[in-house]
Amino acid sequence: MRDGGSENPEADNRKGADLARRALQLAGDDPGILANAAVVLAALGEDIGTMMVLIDRALALNPSFARGWFHSGVIRLMAGQPDLAIEHARNSLRLSPRARVGFPISVIGQAHFLSRRYDEAVPNILLAIQDDPTFPPSYRHLAACYAHMGRLDEARDVVERLRTITPAVIPPNLQSRNPAHRDLLLSGLRLAMGEKT
């Protein structure tokens, strides 16, 4: 749904939000449901401050909840708090070192990218792609990162790899609430695609 795989994204997004809200009504103090609903609703454009409160509640209920820390990292990334996103993603990895590392590492790489720490972003994003070569956001951030570093040939190569996964090089909906972060990603992707910014 997020990457152009839906024939009716608006209806699918409404249905997803409705299901997440229904789960919240039944969740009580279940940190898993609270965390899952928070990240889904944040991704679908709900108030990010409310979703941070929700994820914080889940983590207060279970401070050792690795997936909750990962979801919190994702939400903090959306909220424009890259350093906190890195901290929370690292908590997730510390609590669950044997779990798949790709998604938390991708959050860490994306957060470094948004902070313009490109040299730190690249190895993390490459590791995330190695762990999960089907996750489009990792490729988008790597392409944009290379483009902003002036490594345009590598950026174009990453865009070509991305196109084998999704037709949407530029995502149909950017989840970042921070305009400067959105602009950084979009300008990098446009450079990577050979467009003038």
132 and 75 part of one domain: no
- The yes-or-no verdict on residue 76 having pLDDT over 90 is yes
pLDDT reported for residue 27 = 82
Measured from the Cβ of residue 135, the count of other Cβ atoms closer than 10 Å reads: 16
118 and 81 part of one domain: no
- The yes-or-no verdict on residue 92 having pLDDT over 80 is yes
49 and 127 part of one domain: no
Domain containing residue 25: CATH number: 1.25.40.10
Q: What is the per-residue pLDDT across 94-124, written as a single tens digit (0 to 9) for each?
A: 999 877 667 999 999 999 999 999 999 999 9
Confidence band (pLDDT; 50, 70, 90) for 181?
very high
| Number of domains observed in the structure of the chain | 2
Which whole number is the average pLDDT over 184-193? 97
Of 99, 128, 157, the residue that ends a domain is: 99
d(CA 181, CA 197): 15
Structural domain boundaries enclosing 40: 1-99
Which whole number is the average pLDDT over 35-48? 94
170 and 87 part of one domain: no
50 and 142 part of one domain: no
Of 99, 133, 155, the residue that ends a domain is: 99
pLDDT reported for residue 1 = 41
119 and 56 part of one domain: no
Q: How long, in residues, is the chain?
A: 197
Tokens linked to 61: 């209920």
Of 99, 128, 147, the residue that ends a domain is: 99
59 and 47 part of one domain: yes
pLDDT reported for residue 3 = 59
d(CA 104, CA 48): 19
pLDDT reported for residue 37 = 95
- The yes-or-no verdict on residue 195 having pLDDT over 90 is no
Percent of the chain predicted with pLDDT > 70: 95
182 and 135 part of one domain: yes
pLDDT reported for residue 71 = 97
Tokens linked to 193: 């695609």
